[in-house]
Amino acid sequence: MAAVEYRKLQGMELKFVAGRLEENRAERAIGYSVTFDMTLDFTHFVQMANVYIPGYLNSPINAIRPDLLGLAYHDSYNYFSEAPGPIHSSEALSAVFTKDRNYLDVWSSGEMDQRYGKPEFAFVNGALRITARAYFRWEDPARQIEIADLPTVSFQWALNLMGGHTKAGDVLAPSSVVILMYAHEDLVEVDGLQLFRGMRYMKGRELGFGPISSGQILTAG
């Protein structure tokens, strides 16, 4: 299977609004909450989508999945047949993939566990505002996590455009065609991670309990 292409979309932006780092003693965890405004120029979105999937928004068997790394985990994809009406704006598009039931809030397993909270969405001044939470803890219950243990966290705002039905085993499912995002397509190295140039990130180990400032949200490259 060929790798899915990532493309920067003009008019797609991620702007930091506020954040906070807190201890969660009940779960032996440290977590952050962050609020970002996610903007999308709908005209440019439709133009780019139609290059890759002609008539993209007009077919009920086409689908979309948000990629919100660092913010939330959407567990599947949403068909346009789920839209409450015609999709003629960014707000109408976002209504397809912001349903609470699509987002997981369970602990992952590994040496360091991670759990996203259920994100909260609101449409504010033409942007989709997300308030998101994520928590970290050591898998070993005898080991207490410290701020110095926190990883570098990158923040993605991208839309995976999925077209039609293809056979996946015994199941019909849409296939990924292109992923549109706010960052550039080329990669840069940050703390041993490969991040898209222009991607927002923060160094967890350099935070302190309390507010997260805009100066602590960095830009790759």
pLDDT in tens, 165-181: 665 666 678 899 999 99
Residue 187 pLDDT level (bands cut at 50, 70, 90): very high
pLDDT in tens, 132-158: 999 999 999 999 999 999 999 999 999
Q: Is the dihedral of CA 143, 147, 152, 155 positive or negative?
A: positive
96-117: average pLDDT: 94
pTM: 0.93
The pLDDT, as a whole number, for residue 171 is 67
The pLDDT, as a whole number, for residue 83 is 86
Helix (H) / strand (E) containing 49: helix 42-52
213-218: average pLDDT: 98
Q: Which tokens is 99 given? A: 């349903």
C-beta separation of 97 from 84 below 8 A: no
